[in-house]
Amino acid sequence: MPPTTYTDLIASVRRETREVSLDELKRRLLAKEPYLLLDVREKEEYRAGFIPGAISIPRGFLEIQVEGRIPDKNTKIVAYCAGGTRSALAAKTLAELGYTNVETANPGFVRWKDLGYPMDTPPQLTESQRDRYSRHLLLPEVGEAGQAKLLKSKVLLIGAGGLGSPAGLYLAAAGVGTLGLVDADTVDASNLQRQILHATSRIGMSKVESAEKVISDLNPDVKVVGYKERVNSSNVDRIFGEYDVIIDGTDNFPTRYLVNDASVFLGKPVVHGSIFRFDGQLTTFVPTSAAKKLGIEPGPCYRCLYPEPPPPHLAPSCQEAGVLGILPGVVGLLQATEAIKLLLGQGQPLVGRLLTYDSLGMKFRELKLRRDPNCPACGPTPTITSYIDYEGFCAIG
């Protein structure tokens, strides 16, 4: 006969679920046993504190979210709530969904906290931030911890032009806390066909000031640091210093080689993008020291891809050859995506891979890149250990 009262229902659920004591749960936690802790309390309760390592899926969203968050139904799970009732109901639901190894902690987190057992608190976002980044917070790969990480991150954009415009806008919208903008130019009418950070009303204004105006209006959380100068050997260390990721939106080979060498010397990941007429390409360079911090394999550098610059007549600039105005929007957006992945430690960055885009054929291709064992910059016995005359190097090329 089915239960007819709430008390009967809970008693029946408790008989059908396996319980674990808080002392045993603490022992497993300290022993680092492979259990997944599932907090089924409401988000407001979770924000006040949780058992270290627990993931949060409120009881009311369990059936909707659990298979996306915990795809392996043989995972060892310990569910907990405030007192032990919601977690028991959650354990029964998980069993009905096919999860084979589920326990429930009884009593729950209230008693755990009273006992002084280990607990963490999530990063504290303001209510306005939770509203602004609400779609990020719904993503398990981001969540409140990831959004807090983005807000503390610093990304440097070399160039506030075609590639820097879409990259800067989307990084700002995503909540990257500090954006550095390096550009010595002023806004020109010919820029407006593709450089969407700028506008007709700001022709003649410094590109850095124009970009800062738009980004600050888009997201007040973002601090914009402007550098109204061109990157060169004398200032690159100062400019690159505190940034986590560099986005290379330059349009000339001397600066690209300089950015590459600085990346290797300083251990900074660089998201490289370039455009020409109707075509674009993108890759991510992660030197060895940066790869260790990110927990990924290091990849080739720009000199592995282009040991020598092409002759000037084979590499005309956009000013000489033209460029489809929409093209930098695609490539710059992909650069921003790569930067976000690096900052969050999610996904597979384009390390050792070159993505090319043919806008007329609407085709993407991926090419493998390999480290050059004899690379003068990132090889085991580098010959380039300090900055060189990049203008002269490219002129010889």
Cis status, amide bond into 307, omega within 30 of 0: no
Tens digit of pLDDT for each residue in 74-115?
A: 999 999 999 999 999 999 999 999 999 999 999 999 999 999
User: What is the pLDDT, as a whole number, of residue 313?
Assistant: 61
**CA dihedral of 47, 48, 54, 55, whole degrees rounded to 10:** -20
H/E stretch holding 37 reads strand 36-39
The share of the chain scoring above pLDDT 90, in percent, equals: 86
Tens digit of pLDDT for each residue in 292-331?
A: 999 999 999 999 999 988 776 666 666 667 899 999 999 9
Ordered by start, the domain boundaries in the chain are: 6-114, 153-396
* Average pLDDT of the chain to the nearest whole number: 93
User: What is the pLDDT, as a whole number, of residue 2?
Assistant: 60
The domain made up of 153-396 has a fold known as: Rossmann fold (3.40.50)
- 212 with 223: CB under 8 angstroms? no
pTM as predicted: 0.85
Count of CB atoms situated within 10 Å of the CB of 363? 9
Tens digit of pLDDT for each residue in 359-396?
A: 999 999 999 999 999 999 999 999 999 999 998 888 86
Specify whether domain 6-114 bears CATH 3.50.50.60.
no
